[in-house]
Chain A
Amino acid sequence: MIPTEPIGSIPRPTELIDAIARLGDGTDPGLEPMYEAAIADTVRLFEATGSPVITDGEQRKYHNFWTYSVEGLPNTAPDGFRIPFAAGHVRRMPRLTSGPFRYHRYADKFLEQALRHSTVPVKQAVISPSALSLMYPNEGIPDYPRVQFIEDLVNEHVTEVRRCLEAGAHSVQIDFTEARFTLKVDPTGGLLASFIDLNNLALGRLTPAERLRVGVHTCPGGDRDSTHSADVPYNALLPSLFQLNVSNFFVAMAGERDREGALKIISEHIKPGQRAFVGVISPIDTRLESPEIVRDRILEAARFIPLDQLGTTDDCGFAPFCDDQSTSRDLAFAKIRARIAGTALASTMLGVN
């Protein structure tokens, strides 16, 4: 079958979200049973969809996919850069106040918990170093130069990726959703290029074998059924995206207005040995895609991307931010089920077993 993988997040159970909100501290030990139950349930439901590769639904990422690794750092302040979303809400990044920069937690801890419950391969999503690079304040930090910060950031990222791989992750997915956003900030593409370089700096420290198990996800940034950069055309991003020194790319496509254009760009820039997992499910679309729609989307992508470089995925996670309840868990799993089924249909039609 055409490879198909999720992006990562699944809406948390309401009671978990409420409990976190009530306690105000996602690290409260009292939440452990709820986290455990949420992960176990998510894994069960994920496997029930027939997914060959699942995630833990990022149930323990009690804040979000972006800042989970630095939440609670003592040398941070909550008044970092804001990321505005089309829906009008803003997500704010923490601000590094002093050095040295170190992760507060690594995603392999989440993986371990998921692996206890799963019977199928589990992939782990981690945040890109480029996204966390925005934590360093514009004014700089006395006695902690930016260069050092970048070095530390790259080290931490590489550490996290290796930890996840060594913990048994099927693959590690680097969330590079800020990629499209950089073009919004810097249409010249310089920032994007620097982010590509930064990420490649990190990827360059992985071994080729490790890089074979690393993928990059990019999307317009979904949150509460809204995005932060869907208006940035893909053609500015995709050529640079495939410069990343990874094998797998998870590219949102189902929500694109010009899917064919994007697919064409992908086909022009994808390198041998790389695989593009095109998004065939839109998490922010409240409508449930049917397997046939998914099939058709796949067939569409297959007109551009060679089958041995084609995969399917969701455009994004269903709840990148913990408190996102715009999509229900049921809908999320239904969409996933549709993806699986549609991929199967397409695979059959395309003769991919």
Chain B
Amino acid sequence: MEERTLREAALKNVEAILVARQRAERELLAAKTALEKRTAELQLQREWFEVTLASIGDAVITTDIEGRVTFLNPVAENLTGWRLEEAQGKPLPTVFRIINEDSRNPVDNPIEKVLETGQVVGLANHTALISRSGNEVSIEDSAAPIRDADGKVTGAVMVFHDVSKRRIAERALRASEGRLSAVFSQAALGIAVASLDGRLQEANLKFCSILGYSLDELRQRTFLELTHPEDVVSTLEKVKALREGKIENYALEKRYVRKDGSNVWSSTTVTLLRNESGEAAQFIGIIQDISERKRAEEMLAHLAAVVEYSDDAIVTKTLNGIISSWNPGAQRLFGYTAEEAIGNPVTMLIPDNHLNEEPGILERLRRGERIDHYETIRRRKNGELINVSLTVSPIKNSAGRIVGASKIARDITRQKRSEILIREQAHVLALLDTTGKTISSQLDLQNVLQTVTDTATRLAGAKFGAFFYNVINEEGEALVLYTLSGAPREAFEKFGMPRNTPVFNPTFTGQGVVRSPDITKDPRYGQMAPHHGMPTGHLPVRSYLTVPVISRSGEVMGGLFFGHTETDQFTERAEQLVVGVAAQAAVAMDNARLYEAAQREIASRERAEAALRETDQRKDEFLATLAHELRNPLAPIRQATMISMAPGANEQQKRWSHEVITRQVHHMSLLLDDLLDISRITRGTLELRTEMTDLRTVVDSAVETSRPLIDAKHHTLEIELPRDPPKFAADPLRLAQVLSNLLTNAAKYTDPRGTIRLRATADEKDVEISVADTGVGLTKDALSAVFTMFSQVRSSQDRSEGGLGIGLALSRGVVELHGGTIEARSAGPAKGSEFIVRIPRRIVSDSPQPETIAIEPKTTRKRRVLIADDNRDAAESLAMLLQMDGHTVTVVHDGRQALSTLETLRPEVALLDIGMPEIDGYEVARRVRLDTRIRNMFLIAVTGWGQESDKNRAAAAGFNLHFTKPVDPQMLIDLLGGELPTR
């Protein structure tokens, strides 16, 4: 059952399969019919292709998939040498043998590659077909696969054709192109091709080189971009005309801008290329670098301008000396126009005495030499001779042959004059320089002025010159000296100094320069007697020049005088030069004077320094002496004091001690008085109390003072006075001091039992008092220094006699204050000395007498006294004295204490030191006078300051009295015991 069902089913399938098969068969039939139809069509196509293939000019070979030939068309038969029936079925390489034309090597036929790859193989070049007979034919071949309907490659078809002729033509064309390319690239001219929009397409090496761009760079530019901006317009005009067909080409000289920015001139020729249709296609331009030519043209134009506008004469001439060109400068220099000059011999310009120069110049030119800066003389049209500098150069033609000469003539007349002036100036400057050096290097006035005179004479061009100048000698006398140049001194000696004449006056008074071309014609000349002009025998002077020499301070120191025997010899310039020299002379004289003054000052200072040194030395010696002299009294004072204070001292001893102390104190007081006096004299503060003085009184006073020493040495004193001793104005005390000093010295410096003579005389003018002795005398040196401060005759005797050595100095000071003189005389050592005092006799008016203290006789008044002194000893000792006299004394030691004590104690008298701490004596006095309670107190200043000014100051402060220390105790006791004077 199952099986039957299966069979039935299967058989039913058979029907269906049959139906399917039938359909398939129908389809197959239809396909077959279509195939047949298609085959017929293909056959027709095949036949058509075969006909076509047989008709076309190309050779066609087809193969099957194995590469065996299936078809050759007649062209292929002809080229290969094989007939179709022979070739069919054969491998293609058998029929189609090809080699490479260049290498001659066999080449694979393209069908192999087509069958291998199924791709079309394009045209192959350089292939040659070797025919059956061995002929070689250049071919181009290509092959393509033949595919069936499914695209499967079933064979291949190759097409090839004879290109022999074309190959030949191509070779010829390549050769031609090569030549053309070589011409293009190697041309000496720049060639470029541009499109119609101006963009460069091709350019040869020269073009690139001219513009400095590479070809690639040029291709990015248009020719307008390369054109100089100023040439763009002209270029565009030409291009426009070219494109419009108005012109076939154009030539233009224009500039291009190179890559480096520089400009290049070019001669540009542009042609429009047209295509086969006649349409404009491209521009072709040819450029030639004409920069050099342009530069040459510019240079020529420049040179022409140079020649035309040169100030120099530029002339050309033939070798025969005929002028061939003549520039405006030549016309200006020589005066001839070009028409007048050209064609004429150049000798027309040469003075007769210079004609011999020309043959030599021409000869040198013919040798090709160039003549530079030849200075000579030439003649202008008007006959004027001028200095010229010639530069002559040969002119050569293009062959280098000398055909002429060019001359450049420059007027150097002014130059020559300048040279002369310069030489003169140099000479002058040299002279001035020498003079200046001399002046600055020498201080000897005579030498300097001689140099000045000599220089000035030369500069002025004078025959002779002189310098008269003023000097003041050491004696203060004015002298006129002179230096001479160009003439001996003997020529002037006898004439003396120039006098103050109208001619000379301006010079000596410094009014100014006098320059006359002929002095004898000057109206000022000959005005003064006795000569009325130059003295007989004087060197003849016609040209005259004088210049005052004036110092910086304006002083006319002298005058420079110049003369010449010829007239009009002195020029303004000479005057200027001499004025300059005069100024130098003034400087020199000033310098010399200054130098001399400096020298004198130096000498004076040296002397002063020596004197100071000597004074110092004397001062030192004086101080030593002073110390000695002060110590001397101190010793006995000390001893006497000790004796007086000794417990065992008796009254006699005490009395003796007091006498010693008193005496020594008096001695010290005298020493101090002398010191104070000499100090006042030195400072000029010593004041004389001049009054009409009786000579006899003065002498007596002096004798009295010096009598102890005279008697002690047993000298004989002789006094000689006028019968009627005169009265004269003098300070009697001081004068007596002087005489006392002289007598003391005489006594001191005379051996015992000598003779001292005082003699006084008087006449109308002077009173003369001399003191002579028979003592030790004085040496010359001692005489010159005897009145010097601190001077003592240096001997053991001097020392033993004591003293400060200031007595004579003090005496001189006093005498000189009187207006008198004092001198010392001595015949020498041991020959005694004489001192002479002369006092002028003057009448003094009744002048107020100096205030004197009227000391009332002693009374027994006892007072309350305040002593204020910071020197305790001084204060206490004075207090003790007053107390011993019965006064009540209070002692304080400073100003403040003084004031308070005065207020509280209110003493009757106050003795106040000035120099106190806290408040000085002056202030105490002032305050006392302001205090109503004590303003009337009697105040006495007790101070070591004893000048008149000190006394005035004390009085101004309110002191009643001023005592100079050491106060005379007795005087003070007497004052306090009596009535106190009123203020």
Q: Provided the pairs A146-B16, A154-B20, A201-B21 are in contact, do residues A194 and B10 lie with their beta carbons within 8 angstroms?
A: yes
Q: What chain A residues lie within 8 Å of B24 (beta carbons)? A: 201, 204
Q: What chain B residues lie within 8 Å of A133 (beta carbons)? A: 10, 13, 17
Q: What chain A residues lie within 8 Å of B6 (beta carbons)? A: 81, 134, 185
Most buried by B among A137, A149, A151, A185: A185
Query: Could you tell me which residues of chain B, from 7 to 61, have a CB within 8 Å of some CB in chain A?
Result: 7-21, 24, 28
- Contact status A186-B11, CB under 8 Å: yes
Whether, in the assembled complex, A353 has its beta carbon less than 8 Å from a beta carbon of chain B, the answer is no
- Contact status A150-B16, CB under 8 Å: yes
Q: What chain A residues lie within 8 Å of B16 (beta carbons)? A: 145-147, 149-150
Q: What chain B residues lie within 8 Å of A147 (beta carbons)? A: 16, 19-20
Whether, in the assembled complex, A136 has its beta carbon less than 8 Å from a beta carbon of chain B, the answer is yes
- Contact status A191-B11, CB under 8 Å: yes
Q: What chain B residues lie within 8 Å of A186 (beta carbons)? A: 7, 10-11
Question: How far is A49 from B69 in the complex, measured between Cα atoms in Å?
Answer: 46
| B149 → A minimal CB distance (Å) | 11
Proximity string of chain B (467-491) to chain A, C-beta cutoff 8 Å, 1 when within and 0 when not: 0000000000000000000000000
- Contact status A138-B5, CB under 8 Å: yes
Q: What chain B residues lie within 8 Å of A185 (beta carbons)? A: 3, 6-7, 10
| A168 → B minimal CB distance (Å) | 19
| A142 → B minimal CB distance (Å) | 15
Question: How far is A195 from B18 in the complex, measured between Cα atoms in Å?
Answer: 10
- Contact status A194-B18, CB under 8 Å: yes
- Contact status A137-B9, CB under 8 Å: yes
Q: What chain A residues lie within 8 Å of B19 (beta carbons)? A: 147, 150
Q: Provided the pairs A185-B3, A191-B14 are in contact, do residues A201 and B20 lie with their beta carbons within 8 angstroms?
A: yes
Proximity string of chain A (197-227) to chain B, C-beta cutoff 8 Å, 1 when within and 0 when not: 1100100100100000000000000000000
Q: What chain B residues lie within 8 Å of A145 (beta carbons)? A: 16
Q: Provided the pairs A81-B2, A82-B2, A190-B14 are in contact, do residues A198 and B20 lie with their beta carbons within 8 angstroms?
A: yes
B contact face: mostly helix, strand, loop, or mixed: helix
Question: How far is A154 from B8 in the complex, measured between Cα atoms in Å?
Answer: 20
Question: How far is A151 from B28 in the complex, measured between Cα atoms in Å?
Answer: 16
- Contact status B20-A151, CB under 8 Å: yes
Q: What chain B residues lie within 8 Å of A146 (beta carbons)? A: 12-13, 15-16
Whether, in the assembled complex, A182 has its beta carbon less than 8 Å from a beta carbon of chain B, the answer is yes
Whether, in the assembled complex, B150 has its beta carbon less than 8 Å from a beta carbon of chain A, the answer is yes
Question: How far is A154 from B23 in the complex, measured between Cα atoms in Å?
Answer: 13
Question: How far is A219 from B613 in the complex, measured between Cα atoms in Å?
Answer: 171
Which residue of the partner chain A has the closest CB to B8? A138
Q: What chain A residues lie within 8 Å of B21 (beta carbons)? A: 197-198, 201
Q: What chain B residues lie within 8 Å of A138 (beta carbons)? A: 5, 8-9, 12
| B28 → A minimal CB distance (Å) | 8
Which residue of the partner chain A has the closest CB to B22? A197
Q: What chain B residues lie within 8 Å of A154 (beta carbons)? A: 20
Query: Could you tell me which residues of chain B, from 127 to 157, have a CB within 8 Å of some CB in chain A?
Result: 150
Which residue of the partner chain B has the closest CB to A207? B150
Which residue of the partner chain B has the closest CB to A129? B17
- Contact status A136-B20, CB under 8 Å: no
| B21 → A minimal CB distance (Å) | 5
Interface size class of A (residues with CB under 8 A): 20 to 34
Q: What chain B residues lie within 8 Å of A204 (beta carbons)? A: 24, 28
Most buried by A among B7, B9, B12: B9
Q: What chain A residues lie within 8 Å of B5 (beta carbons)? A: 81, 138
| A53 → B minimal CB distance (Å) | 25
Number of A-B contacts (CB under 8 A): 74
Most buried by B among A191, A195, A204: A191
Q: What chain A residues lie within 8 Å of B14 (beta carbons)? A: 190-191, 193-194
| B18 → A minimal CB distance (Å) | 7
B17 partner, pick from A82, A137, A194, A207, beta carbons under 8 A: A194
Question: How far is A136 from B16 in the complex, measured between Cα atoms in Å?
Answer: 11
Q: What chain B residues lie within 8 Å of A198 (beta carbons)? A: 13, 17, 20-21
| B147 → A minimal CB distance (Å) | 14
Question: How far is A82 from B5 in the complex, measured between Cα atoms in Å?
Answer: 10
- Contact status A194-B13, CB under 8 Å: yes
Question: How far is A194 from B17 in the complex, measured between Cα atoms in Å?
Answer: 6
Q: What chain A residues lie within 8 Å of B9 (beta carbons)? A: 81, 134, 136-138
Q: What chain A residues lie within 8 Å of B2 (beta carbons)? A: 81-82
Query: Could you tell me which residues of chain B, from 641 to 673, have a CB within 8 Å of some CB in chain A?
Result: none
- Contact status A150-B13, CB under 8 Å: yes
Which residue of the partner chain B has the closest CB to A151? B20
Q: What chain A residues lie within 8 Å of B13 (beta carbons)? A: 133-134, 136, 146, 150, 191, 194, 198
Query: Could you tell me which residues of chain A, from 49 to 85, have a CB within 8 Å of some CB in chain B?
Result: 81-82
Question: How far is A154 from B21 in the complex, measured between Cα atoms in Å?
Answer: 11
Question: How far is A77 from B15 in the complex, measured between Cα atoms in Å?
Answer: 24
Q: What chain B residues lie within 8 Å of A82 (beta carbons)? A: 2
- Contact status A191-B10, CB under 8 Å: yes
Which residue of the partner chain A has the closest CB to B3? A185
Question: How far is A198 from B716 in the complex, measured between Cα atoms in Å?
Answer: 210
Query: Could you tell me which residues of chain A, from 80 to 126, have a CB within 8 Å of some CB in chain B?
Result: 81-82
| A84 → B minimal CB distance (Å) | 8
- Contact status A197-B17, CB under 8 Å: yes
Question: How far is A16 from B6 in the complex, measured between Cα atoms in Å?
Answer: 33
Query: Could you tell me which residues of chain A, from 248 to 286, have a CB within 8 Å of some CB in chain B?
Result: none
| B55 → A minimal CB distance (Å) | 36
Most buried by A among B10, B14, B20: B10
Q: What chain A residues lie within 8 Å of B12 (beta carbons)? A: 136, 138, 146
- Contact status B17-A150, CB under 8 Å: yes
Q: What chain A residues lie within 8 Å of B8 (beta carbons)? A: 138
Q: Provided the pairs A81-B2, A133-B13 are in contact, do residues A150 and B7 lie with their beta carbons within 8 angstroms?
A: no
| A150 → B minimal CB distance (Å) | 4
Which residue of the partner chain A has the closest CB to B21? A197
Question: How far is A133 from B13 in the complex, measured between Cα atoms in Å?
Answer: 7
Question: How far is A186 from B12 in the complex, measured between Cα atoms in Å?
Answer: 12
Question: How far is A195 from B6 in the complex, measured between Cα atoms in Å?
Answer: 14
| B782 → A minimal CB distance (Å) | 159
Q: What chain B residues lie within 8 Å of A151 (beta carbons)? A: 20
Q: What chain B residues lie within 8 Å of A190 (beta carbons)? A: 11, 14
Which residue of the partner chain A has the closest CB to B5? A138
Question: How far is A137 from B150 in the complex, measured between Cα atoms in Å?
Answer: 40
Question: How far is A185 from B12 in the complex, measured between Cα atoms in Å?
Answer: 13
A182 partner, pick from B10, B15, B20, B150, beta carbons under 8 A: B10
A191 partner, pick from B7, B28, B150, beta carbons under 8 A: B7
Query: Could you tell me which residues of chain A, from 168 to 192, have a CB within 8 Å of some CB in chain B?
Result: 182, 185-186, 190-191
- Contact status B10-A134, CB under 8 Å: yes
Question: How far is A31 from B28 in the complex, measured between Cα atoms in Å?
Answer: 46
Which residue of the partner chain A has the closest CB to B152? A209
Most buried by A among B2, B7, B13, B14: B13
| B31 → A minimal CB distance (Å) | 11
- Contact status B17-A201, CB under 8 Å: yes
Question: How far is A182 from B21 in the complex, measured between Cα atoms in Å?
Answer: 19
Q: What chain B residues lie within 8 Å of A136 (beta carbons)? A: 9, 12-13
| B266 → A minimal CB distance (Å) | 75
Question: How far is A194 from B20 in the complex, measured between Cα atoms in Å?
Answer: 10
Question: How far is A68 from B19 in the complex, measured between Cα atoms in Å?
Answer: 27
| A134 → B minimal CB distance (Å) | 7
| A78 → B minimal CB distance (Å) | 15
Which residue of the partner chain B has the closest CB to A82? B2
Question: How far is A71 from B3 in the complex, measured between Cα atoms in Å?
Answer: 23
Q: What chain B residues lie within 8 Å of A149 (beta carbons)? A: 16
Which residue of the partner chain B has the closest CB to A83? B6
- Contact status A197-B11, CB under 8 Å: no
11 A-B pairs in the complex with CB atoms less than 8 angstroms apart: A134-B10, A136-B13, A138-B12, A150-B16, A150-B19, A186-B7, A186-B10, A191-B7, A191-B13, A198-B17, A204-B24
Q: Which residues of B contact A (CB under 8 A)?
A: 2-3, 5-21, 24, 28, 150
- In the complex, the 10 A-B pairs of residues with the closest C-beta atoms, listed nearest first: A194-B14, A138-B9, A146-B16, A194-B17, A150-B16, A198-B17, A191-B10, A185-B7, A197-B21, A147-B16
Known: A150-B20, A191-B13. 4 other contacts (CB 8 A): A137-B9, A150-B16, A190-B11, A207-B150
